[in-house]
Amino acid sequence: MFPALAPGAIGVSLAFEESARLAAEVGFKGITLDVSGDPDAVRRVLELHKLLPASWGLPVEFRRDDETFRTTLANLPDLAKKARQIGAARCSTWMLPFSDDLPFAENWTRHRDRLRACAEVLADHDCRLGLEFVGPKTARDGHKHEFIHDMDAMLDLCAEIGTRNVGLLFDSFHWYTSHGTPEQIARLSDSLIVDCHINDATPGRTPDEQIDNERALPGETGVIDLGGWLRGLKTIGYTGPVTPEPFSARLRSMSPEEAVRTTAEALLGAWEKAGV
């Protein structure tokens, strides 16, 4: 596994080459991508800065009406082709843990069928799809129907999609807020994880009181056992990116250079402390 930067997740909005330069300077080994541009140009930037492609976001709107889903799905083959030209084989997305319209079973069927269609396109281009469950109870409160919000249910969906290129986007914050355990990680394998996000949680709150968009940098609060989480990933042989996604107002108030440096220091500090 390798430390990766997602510039947008820390409020950095720069040209890709500049973001890549900053990432490499402070010790990141990979960076997330926008695959809609010239794949040769993206690949040249990665090679120049000796960075690995991390993940790219699934550009399909599978959460809305049928017409929107079909329209956005039609763009996926071209983007997947570009991703493979870059060498970016990991595509990921997240799922709402509720629905105000569909009961659980109907929502499951819709997600299974739509995400299977996405996964089949990605498989044609040797790409994998990572699915992120959203763990906090507060994200489900006040909504009519609960949906997938923990690791085991998400793995069941991956298995039912059945294309063999679908696994987890595994986030330490969502693992913690879904009451995940080290034993759960031990049951995983590299083939079951496509992408990883690493974050800490807000002190003074129980897992059920955590709020999705109020997180902290890795190791900033010590609420989540990130050492155990990272060692668990190493033990199962995970080979992909580990990317901070802290949603931090403090980071967003910094200059791009300071935000990237602060994020790297936090991640690499947690990395070193975990001994991975």
- Local mean pLDDT, 10-residue blocks, the chain (276 residues): 97 96 98 96 98 98 96 98 98 98 98 98 98 98 98 98 98 98 95 98 98 96 97 98 94 96 98 95
Which token pair is 215?
């997180």
Residue 113's pLDDT is what? 98
Rounded CA separation 108/152 (Å): 14
Residue 212's pLDDT is what? 96
Give this prediction's pTM. 0.96
Q: Which of 256, 117, 97, 253 is closest to 178 using CA atoms? A: 97
Q: Where are the domains of the chain?
A: 2-274
* Strand residues in 22-134 grouped as ranges (E): 30-33, 52-57, 90-94, 98-99, 128-132
Q: Please give the class, per CATH, of domain 2-274.
A: alpha beta
Residue 251's pLDDT is what? 93
